[in-house]
Chains A and B, each alone.
Chain A
Amino acid sequence: MTNDFEPIIVGFLCNWCSYEGADAAGRARQCYPSNLRVIRVMCSGRVDPQFVFQAFKQGADGVLILGCHPGDCHYKDGNRQALKRYTLIKSMLDAFGIEQDRLRLDWISAAEQEKFVQVVSEMTERVRQLGPLMPRANPLKKLDSNRSTRIENDMRFLQRKHKKISTKARKIESTK
């Protein structure tokens, strides 16, 4: 499948390693896909599973979580927490119909600019192949279209009938 679909990748980058790595790539004028939207977090361990789903819901076609290498966490073991969550979130994606490859966790140190470029490029290509993600529509929007329903119709019918009967009754009354 060749396509010109440009996926949106939301990346949660930890402040101390991965964000620095991205910065280093920028300073070295390295090229990487512009599909990545970076959100800086203090630690990959800050990435709540709610963030991941919120990103998918708001239009991300893929989500990337980047943190320091295990052992290098600024907060000792935040990235290990991230790894635990990541494994569990992955196991939930199937039920939502989200392909596992749309979520990726990787370790990127402040010096690994090449790896940063490589991970972002790979991720973008993979998600491009998978195509756009379409979450369920916002609940209220759809309902507001004026669907006249059976009951509303029935009710209108009954009310008309009541009116008719009472006018008829009044007429009979007045002719008496």
Chain B
Amino acid sequence: MAHKPKIALYWCSSCGGCEESVVDLAEDILAVAEAAEIVFWPVALDAKYDDVARLDDGAITATLINGAIRLDEHVSMARLLRKKSRLLFAHGSCAHLGGVVGLGNFFTNEEILNRVYCDVPTVNNPDRVLPRPETRQGTTVLKLTGLHDMVRSLHQVVDVDYTIPGCPPPPALVKEAVMMVLEDRLPPKGSIVADTRALCYTCPRKETRPEMLEVPSFKRVYEIEWDPEQCFLNQGVVCMGPVTRGGCMAQCIQANMPCRGCFGPVDNVRDQGAKSASLLASLMESTDEEQLKKIVETIPDPGGLFYRYSLASSIMKGRVRRRP
């Protein structure tokens, strides 16, 4: 009993989906709870930050952090948990690459705050009150944790040992990661708990993917009645399988939806969005500039599509800063 390994889970800028991937372990979570002691998990257990701070350094065997980093609070918690844990896992696309919340880097904080707190049609805020780092009322000063000017991945803030990709990761991968720790069969540091090759290699539709492929225009899934057996690209539907790390057991494909790239780039690719652009460019069936422009127009919001999960960790990191 005394020597049970300790596990901690924490969320930063997260939608809660990754927490769900832990809950979805269902009965398996009992096995984990049997073999390990969960010392900190704000979503499910009552523990305070202070309880973590009082642990010895390295006392936690493994910590899983999900969500991206965009508040001072996230940074201090990530740093604290890093200090207290022997192993740190980036859990899910947001911690891995910045994730969907990382798309915020296409906008300025001002735009985001105005949109969320004032301009959304369901919000009624005529005085345009925005959250501020400090509010004074008489002699009391109320403080809010600072909002960073950009979203970051966990890797950009602390040293990360392993990554569980996915948005959210399939429960099987979460289980595998935890079992890796409990059974002490750890891969080399920096490993990503998934395949090293692209999704296409394990896709059930790969046989229908032709060697050479060119499409006259791209289609969105609602625009056609697509064949549930055929490779999506072959039907002109954008599928990120060729440039996305496999290991998800092709869950989206099996649910008859094309891949959107949540497992991130394959090994040796630095910028997932740029690689996705390269992929789709090679499929465009034309050599005439005007015609090509027309094909490109059939992809709405290319930036958002290609960088859906990886903007914060891409080469550009987001929108350029405006000149004053």
List residues of chain A with CB under 8 Å of any chain B CB. 48-50, 52-54, 56-57, 70, 77, 80-81, 83-85, 87-92, 94-98, 131-137, 139-140, 143, 147, 149-152, 154-155, 158-159
Contacts and interface: CB of A to CB of B under 8 A. Distances in A.
Contacts of B284: 84, 87-88
A95 B306 CA distance: 11
Given A53-B315, A136-B150, A159-B53, A152 B76 contact: yes
Contacts of A97: 319-320, 322
Given A139-B156, A149-B72, A155 B53 contact: yes
A154 B75 CA distance: 15
A49 B275 contact: yes
B287 interface: yes
A91 B269 CA distance: 21
Nearest to A98: B320
26 contacts: A50-B274, A52-B274, A53-B316, A83-B292, A84-B281, A84-B286, A85-B277, A85-B281, A87-B284, A88-B277, A88-B302, A89-B277, A91-B299, A92-B303, A92-B306, A96-B318, A98-B320, A133-B320, A134-B320, A134-B323, A136-B316, A136-B321, A139-B317, A151-B72, A151-B73, A159-B53
B270 interface: yes
B314 interface: yes
B274 A150 contact: no
B99 to A, nearest CB: 15
Nearest to B50: A158
B146 A147 contact: yes
Contacts, number: 147
Given A94-B303, A95-B301, A140-B156, A87 B282 contact: no
Contact of A57 (B157, B303, B316): B316
Contacts of B293: 87
A88 B106 CA distance: 18
Contacts of A56: 316, 320
Contacts of B105: 136
Q: Which 10 A-B pairs have the closest CB atoms?
A: A95-B303, A49-B274, A149-B72, A136-B317, A84-B281, A139-B156, A53-B315, A97-B319, A85-B281, A87-B292
B278 interface: yes
A137 B150 CA distance: 9
A151 B145 contact: yes
Nearest to A85: B281
A97 B56 CA distance: 46
B145 A149 contact: yes
A158 B150 CA distance: 30
A85 B284 CA distance: 9
A50 B268 CA distance: 12
A54 B152 CA distance: 18
